[in-house]
Amino acid sequence: MPELPEVETIRRQIVHHVQRQTIVSAHVTRDRAVRAHACPDEFVQRVVGRTIYTVCRRGKALLLPLDDGNSLLVRLGMSGRLLVADPHDPVAPHTHVVLMLANGKELRYVDPRTFGQVAIVEGHDPCSMGELGHYGPEPLDDAFTPEMLQQVLAGKQASIQAVLMDQRAIAGIGKIYADEACFLAGISPLRSAASLTPEEVVRLHAAIRDVLTRSIEARGTSSQDAAYRDAHDNTGDFQHQLYVYQRAGLPCRVCGMPVEYRPFQGRRIHFCPHCQR
């Protein structure tokens, strides 16, 4: 599932192709991809003729503010992709929504499993949207300090892993970067969030920002199922830098002991029992 670095990669790749562009036509070939709307025609009528101001990201969602005061919300779900293409480029299987732009480019929404969706939502400010208003802080914002992380974790008896993946606590982190941030911080993901010492919170804060930043630089993680592709249909490169995620049984890159994989409270956790306490 695309997480913050993958979605941010797509945002950076598409923004200069779509900002200040008018949507001249739109096609929907799978109703489920626009299921927030009464029918695909309603979505098409609301989007055609609109100009896209820019491309923003909130957590794992992309938000394209439009000139009528609404926004185009794109959620990639488990397997969604957003591609910038030329009209003559081959159309990938499972392409459900195509927006033709005034500059001749196409924005294509592709999603084999269609857990994601594209929708017109009211307003430009994600904080006031029903869809995104409950999201927690953005971990790469300057405002996200160790003190803020301390507040997020305080009093929570759930595991650190569960809190990191809770979008209401922190926006944008899923199983890949929860596993990796805990490893980099040397903290067992099985511990309760409230059990972290102030020094461990500082380490975890630094680890979260470090892993997300480096993954964006590597255009995200394409894990074993290779579902994630960037906006140019290329895989990311960060999977080569992972320490524990999907490395079960392989030697830890630090201590050489096998990386462990354990189902825990309905989640699947990768960690090194030797390096993480």
Nearest approach in angstroms of CB 173 to Zn ion is: 22
Q: What is the Cα–Cα distance from 148 to 209, expressed in whole angstroms?
A: 13
| C-beta closer to Zn ion: residue 226 or 257 | 257
The two tokens of residue 101 are: 């732009």
Q: Is 156 a catalytic residue?
A: no
Nearest approach in angstroms of CB 251 to Zn ion is: 8
Catalytic residue among 3, 106, 138, 180: 3
Q: Is 60 a catalytic residue?
A: yes
Nearest approach in angstroms of CB 199 to Zn ion is: 20
Nearest approach in angstroms of CB 214 to Zn ion is: 19
| C-beta closer to Zn ion: residue 120 or 176 | 176
Q: Is 267 a catalytic residue?
A: yes
The burial of 156, by beta-carbon neighbours within 10 Å (0-12 exposed, 13-18 middle, 19 or more buried), is given as middle
Residues 62, 7 contacting (CB under 8 angstroms): yes
Catalytic residue among 46, 156, 267, 268: 267
| C-beta closer to Zn ion: residue 209 or 274 | 274
Q: Is 3 a catalytic residue?
A: yes
Catalytic residue among 2, 40, 65, 139: 2
When CB distances to Zn ion are compared, the closest residue is 252
Q: What is the Cα–Cα distance from 147 to 167, expressed in whole angstroms?
A: 18
| C-beta closer to Zn ion: residue 17 or 274 | 274
| C-beta closer to Zn ion: residue 201 or 259 | 259
Binding site for Zn ion (CB under 5 A): 252, 254-255, 272, 274-275
CB atoms within 10 A of CB 109: 24
Residues 214, 176 contacting (CB under 8 angstroms): no
Catalytic residue among 57, 60, 108, 229: 60
Q: What is the Cα–Cα distance from 219 to 14, expressed in whole angstroms?
A: 13
User: Which uninterrupted H or E stretch holds 42?
Assistant: helix 40-47
Q: What is the Cα–Cα distance from 83 to 231, expressed in whole angstroms?
A: 4
**DSSP states of 128-189:** G-TTTTT----TTSTT--HHHHHHHHTT--SBHHHHHH-TTTSSS--HHHHHHHHHHHT--T
Residues 271, 189 contacting (CB under 8 angstroms): yes
Nearest approach in angstroms of CB 236 to Zn ion is: 24
Q: What is the Cα–Cα distance from 246 to 31, expressed in whole angstroms?
A: 34
Nearest approach in angstroms of CB 250 to Zn ion is: 11
| C-beta closer to Zn ion: residue 240 or 277 | 277
Q: Which residues are tagged catalytic?
A: 2-3, 60, 267
